[in-house]
Amino acid sequence: MRYEWRKIKSSQFVSLVAVFASVNIVFDSLMGLPMLGTDVWSGWVFMVAPITGMVLGPYAGFLSTLIGVMIGHSIYFRDVYEFFFTFGAPIGAMVSGFLFRGRWKIVLIYYTALFGIYFITPVAWQLPLWGMWDIYLAYVILLLFAVMMRRKGLWNSKSKGLPYIIAICTIIGLEADVLFRIFIFVPCQTYQLFYDLNVNALILRWVAGAFETPIKVAMSTLVTAIVGLPVIKSFRKVASLDWLQ
């Protein structure tokens, strides 16, 4: 009986991974807002990646989002280089999944490591420091809530503050996605290797991204905080979905 119950749970989980992968495919294959043309999230996957990680967990969320963006990018083909940058979406889903479960140390290490690599990159010294203001803000929020999570009762994914927790996990997950894309673009110097941009052209994209990215993060945070609450609560009513606890 226990073996059969585990099989039911496993089949439900695999089905859920497939469902979320399908949703990510649909959203990623839709043309995004033209906005300032920085090509950050040229589709709409940023609207569903965080909740994917929160519902499925960090690892399954990563896998489901990865399947979604790889197929989605194949349907709505940008260029071959975009497949490198789009790994940021599953990483962002994974970060949201970790943080939603209170595993802030992994997230803090990720942010600190990529920040460190960025700031020791010479070309980064020529870029406006304020250009990553939204990521700095996410890092400060992460530090504050890391302190709260260390104190019993102040971080509980079953509490009445669930909408705020969902919003925070969304912001930090999406900015982790952006930070990965920056890592590929600047420290890995793909701005030059892939796109043959000089420093002046890089600065223009940098400034544009400082305005465009926060708008998309705000859109996703608002939608996820509203839609994510009933989604998570509905899954919690199914006893076998105990990975959401």
Tens of pLDDT along 151-183?
654 555 566 678 888 999 999 999 999 999 999
Model pLDDT for residues 41-92, shown as the tens digit of each residue:
778 999 999 999 999 999 999 999 999 999 999 998 888 888 899 999 999 9
Question: Contact 27/216 with Cβ under 8 angstroms?
Answer: no
> Rounded to the nearest 5°, which phi and psi values hold at 240?
-75, -15
- The residue ranges of every structural domain in the chain are 2-244
Q: And the tokens for 75? A: 């349907």
Cβ contacts of 71 within 8 Å, gap of 6 or more: 21, 25, 28, 29
Distance CA 218, CA 221 (A): 5
pTM over 0.85: yes
How far apart CA 234 and CA 227 sit, in angstroms, is: 11
Distance CA 41, CA 100 (A): 23
